[in-house]
Every structure is written in structure tokens, then in C-alpha cells.
Amino acid sequence: MPTISNKADSMPASPIRKLVPFAEAAKKRGTKIYHLNIGQPDIETPQSFLNAVKTADIKVLEYSHSAGNESYRTKLCNYYKEYTININPNDIIITCGGSEAIEIALMTCFNAGDEIIIPEPFYANYNGFSKAADVIVKPIRSSIETGFALPPIADFEKVITPKTKGIIICNPGNPTGYLYTKEELLALRDLVKKYDLFLLSDEVYREFCYDGKEYISVMHLDGIEENVVLLDSISKRYSACGARIGALISKNKTVMSAALKFAQARLSPPSYGQIGAEAALDTPKSYFEDVKTEYIARRNFVVEALNKMEGVFCPKPSGAFYCIAKLPIDNADKFCQWLLEEFNYNHQTVMLAPATGFYSTPNAGTNEVRIAYVLNLNDLKNAMECLQQALNIYPGKTN
């Protein structure tokens, strides 16, 4: 039998999805599962998006432009202008979700064997797409004790080598919910300038910043315009994960010209997704205000509930809808599987994501889990009760 490629064999499994078979088996046994393992919001998609798709008068579903519909890219420029990000339609390539934006950016900006620095814990697919592009990940540890603030710049400089080509950040962050400060981003800017690196920034959660804290884009950083690549998606903004519409944005014309060749190779982004996304740009501000209010209530409840549990510590995130909690457990992977295979409380259990999958450093995050507070408050209350009961009886509990 032919063997698969080394690249395929070494691709990491999704830490978010690898427990799905155990969840499916638990459901068949009649156990209700509270899914806090994945960033799939229960917030309704705006009607403007759905109505545009339903009423689209299309006789032939044609390919769109490889860079995306010009009407959508033009309208997107107005959206970004509200965040003082001044770009034109040629600075945007519409992608098949934010995932493809990451993939194209890595293939465009890095050669095989080049190194990319990523503060960890980080979105697991950065690891997978780096592996697919033969880019070597150099992790820099952030700490739960500091709420996952940007590690010291000196830590970055320690791992910079002649092969270092760039840095990727997520702001606000997945999986930590951390929102970088202006001072942290200016320090990154100076580092990028000093070593002439690419700075890739995943900013898909910009709508979800809390406690009056300011969202600052890498596109706001003067002096590194040619170094910056912005990665975006509508999945979380409009609760439209299945639309598969993202964007790659840069003022670097060489980057955009090269990235377009990868976009041409996959032909075009989804037509219906673009139609809905363009219409969703008219979503009233009240929609986002209501959603933000809901997420703040969920965050406050979950973080408070976690920190009341014996031996649990969870810093309060300032953005997105995730938090990482340190638990009194021996092994997060084992614990999360145990929750699905062996535990139930009143025929209920909770599904979490082991934080190990968000680290590149071996054996990091073994007592941490990521929680996505994407369910309504009543479900979150039941989920936290399940977690408390589970921690009470888990055989691998530590002091």
C-alpha cells in the first residue's frame, strides 16, 4: 500500500475537534453536552446577511473575481475606515474564511525553512498551516499569571536567527482573550522595523473588546506599512462561521500581487458568502452593542464561577469570547476525554478544549483548558455546575 506524505503524517490534529468521537458516543448514551470547546457562537446571524442570500436573483452561480467581488471589497473599505484603517479595494483579497487568509499569507511571505515567532498559547491552526507551508514555528511563552500579556521583547530577540522572517499575533486573542495594549504593539513595531520582519495580525475579534479598552490594529502602526499583513474573517463578527468569508489585507503591493496568484489557483471565494457578507456590512451598530453586552455578561459569569472553584485560576479576558483556566488536574487531554467518556452529572457534561493543543512547546498547558463562553447564561450556569462536580470527583485531581 502506498504511504502518505511526511507532511500529512506530521500535521497536528485539531485540539478542538479531536474529542468529537467521544462527544458523539456520549450523546448516543443520552448525555447532554455543553459545548464550550469551540468558538461557534449561539448568537443569531444578522437578518441582512440571511435575507440577501435568500433573495439573491441568480440564474447562473458564476465564479467571482479571484480577489473577491469588487463591490464587496469597495464596501469593506468603508467598514475599515470606521476603525481608521485606510485602504483601497486593491489592498484586499477575499478568502475562503480567515483560515485561507492565514494559509495564503504564510505561503506568500515565507520560504520553506523560514521561521515564524508566535506568542503562545496561540490559535492551533497557526501550527497546522505553518507545518503545511514548511515554516518553522518558534514559540514565545506568555503566562497565565500575567493574563497572557505580550512576552518581553527580549524573549523575541533571543530566538531571532537569520532564518526568522516574521511574527504572527492574534488581537484580541484566541485562545486567551487577551487584548494587546498600545505600548505592546509599539514595541512589536520597533522589533519588526529593527529586523525587517513581516508582522501578520489576526484581528477577527475586533468587535469584541471590553471594559473600555481600546482596539489597536497593526494597520495603525506607522513606519511598517510594507511589513504588515492583516488577517480577517466575518465568522465571529456576524456569527456566520459557515459562510467561509475572510480577507487578507496589506498595503505591500508585492505581497498582494503574489498572494493573488494563490487566490487564482483556488479560483474564487464563495459567491453566496460574499453576497451575504456585503449585505451584512449594513448591520446596525445596535446589533454589535447587544452582542457585546451579552458576551460581557457571559464572561463575567464564567470567570467568576471558575475562580470560586477550589484550585482554579482564570484571568479575566478583555476581548474575544474565550478564556484559559488553570485547573487542579494531572493532564488536560485526559481530563477532557474523561468528562465525555466517564463523567456525567444529572445526565449532563461539559466539553472543553485541552490547552495543550494551543502550545507548540512540548508538555505546556497540561493543566489548562480553553473555554469558549458562546452559550446562553442558563447553559453556562449548568456547564459550570458540571465542571465543579467533575473536579470534585476526578481521579487525577491535584492539590
Angle between helices 47-54 and 271-280 (to 10 degrees): 140
User: Largest alpha-carbon pair distance within the chain?
Assistant: 65
Half-sphere exposure (Cβ direction) of 227: Cα atoms closer than 13 Å: 22
Cα-based distances in Å from 192 to 165, 334, 386, 387 = 10, 39, 45, 42
Q: Which residues of 272-304 are buried (b: 16+ CB within 10 A; e: fewer)?
A: bbbbbbbbbbebeeebeeebeebbeebbeebbe
| Residue carrying C-alpha cell 459545548 | 35
How does pLDDT run across 204-221, given as a tens digit for each residue?
999 999 999 999 999 999
Question: Whole-structure pTM over 0.85, yes or no?
Answer: yes
Residue 10: the pLDDT is: 86
Q: Would you list the DSSP string of 2-49?
A: PPPPHHHHHPPPPTTTTTHHHHHHHHHTT-EEEE-SS----SPPPHHH
Other beta carbons within 10 Å of 50:
16
Residue pair 168/363 in contact by the 8 Å Cβ criterion: no
**One-letter amino acid for residue 207 of the chain:** E
Residue 306: the pLDDT is: 98
User: What nine digits make up the cell of 343?
Assistant: 463523567
The C-alpha atoms of residue 122 and residue 141 are separated, in whole angstroms, by: 10
User: What 3-state class would DSSP assign to 331?
Assistant: coil
The C-alpha atoms of residue 9 and residue 56 are separated, in whole angstroms, by: 42
Residue 288: the pLDDT is: 95
Domains and CATH numbers, the chain: 6-44+286-393 (3.90.1150.10), 47-280 (3.40.640.10)
For residue 397, give the DSSP letter: B
Other beta carbons within 10 Å of 117:
23
Beta-sheet strand order (sheet of 368-372): 322-326, 368-372, 353-354
Q: Who contacts 235 (Cβ-Cβ below 8 Å, separation ≥6)?
A: 97, 98, 204, 241, 243, 244, 245, 246
Q: Who contacts 8 (Cβ-Cβ below 8 Å, separation ≥6)?
A: none
The C-alpha atoms of residue 148 and residue 239 are separated, in whole angstroms, by: 26
What is the DSSP pairing of strand 353-354 with strand 368-372? antiparallel
The C-alpha atoms of residue 303 and residue 363 are separated, in whole angstroms, by: 25
Residues of the chain with pLDDT under 50: none
Residue pair 105/83 in contact by the 8 Å Cβ criterion: no
| Residue carrying C-alpha cell 444529572 | 346
Half-sphere exposure (Cβ direction) of 278: Cα atoms closer than 13 Å: 18
**One-letter amino acid for residue 323 of the chain:** C
